[in-house]
Amino acid sequence: MNRLLAPILGFLLLAGIGYAIYTSMHGQLALKAQITVTGLIGSEKEAFFADPRVQQALLKQGLIVKVEKAGSRQIATAFDLKKYDFAFPAGQPAADKILQAVGKRPTHVPFFTPMVIASWQPIAKILEANDVVRERDGVYYWFDLDRYFAWTQLETRWKDLKDSAAYPVNKSVLIRTTDVRKSNSAAMYLALMSYIANGQRVVASREEMD
């Protein structure tokens, strides 16, 4: 019995060593196969690339991704793009400016995201009471830009709104945005407001802008 066990144990031991060697070599090969890439991204994408799930998914593809953030409109004009492996702006206009700067390159549109207005729950409740936002399933998913635009023209203040006890201040009701000269999201917001101000028509001339 001992004579029989000895070869079996020897085989198992060798198999274990073989597996350990294979595992070690496989890990080293996988490490060598990983590529570090550096990219410029629109600032709103920082949370996406910081998400552990995204990092893990990229790692499975052999990619270690390092990013620097900037305003989407700055990417094409304020950086030496030759130093980066990719650029990930927000919006087609910013992407077009980058392509003009670097020449023809492969492009991909991985996803689309909605424009979102961030605020606090008490503020959202006031806006809901004044029919500017609607809530569904615990999420405020709809914002009436036409009504909000009318408020801006009337210089409506928070204290003037119905049920504004949670925020009865004498400040104008205004949405604060990033710098429109640098940020695509601010430019998109400006485009929406100009569309409403122009009678729900796209502004197509300097005369309409004035």
Q: For the segment 86-122, what is each residue's pLDDT rounded down to a tens digit?
A: 888 887 888 888 888 888 788 888 877 788 888 999 9
* Bridge-based pairing state of the strands 133-136 and 139-143: antiparallel
User: Within a domain: residue 60?
Assistant: no
What does the pLDDT average to over 171-198? Answer: 87
- pLDDT at residue 12 is higher than 80: no
Q: Residues 135, 136, 140, CA angle at the centre, nearest 5°?
A: 40
Helices and strands counted in the chain (H then E): 9, 5
Instruction: Take residue 166 and report the two structure tokens written for it.
Output: 């949670």
Q: How many domains does the chain have?
A: 2
Question: Tell me: the pLDDT tens digits for 135-155?
Answer: 888 887 799 999 999 999 999
Q: What is the mean pLDDT of the chain?
A: 82
Is 136 in a helix, a strand, or coil? strand
> Do the domain assignments include residue 96?
no
Q: What is the pLDDT of residue 11?
A: 45
Task: Provide the percentage of residues in the chain whose pLDDT is more than 70.
Answer: 83
Amino acid at 82: K
Average the pLDDT over each of 49-63, 136-150, 179-193 and give the range with the smallest value: 179-193
Residue with tokens 């890990």: 27
Residue 98 lies in a domain: no
Higher pLDDT, 2 or 49: 49
- The pLDDT of residue 23 is 53
pLDDT for position 8: 44
Is residue 1's pLDDT more than 60?
no
User: Does 27 map to a domain?
Assistant: yes
Q: Is 88 helix (H, G, I), strand (E, B) or coil?
A: strand
Q: What pLDDT is attached to residue 4?
A: 47
Residue 52 counted as domain residue:
no
Domain that holds residue 21: 1-33
**Cα–Cα distance between 154 and 57 in angstroms, integer?**
49
Is 57 domain-assigned? no
| Residues 88, 41 contacting (CB under 8 angstroms) | yes
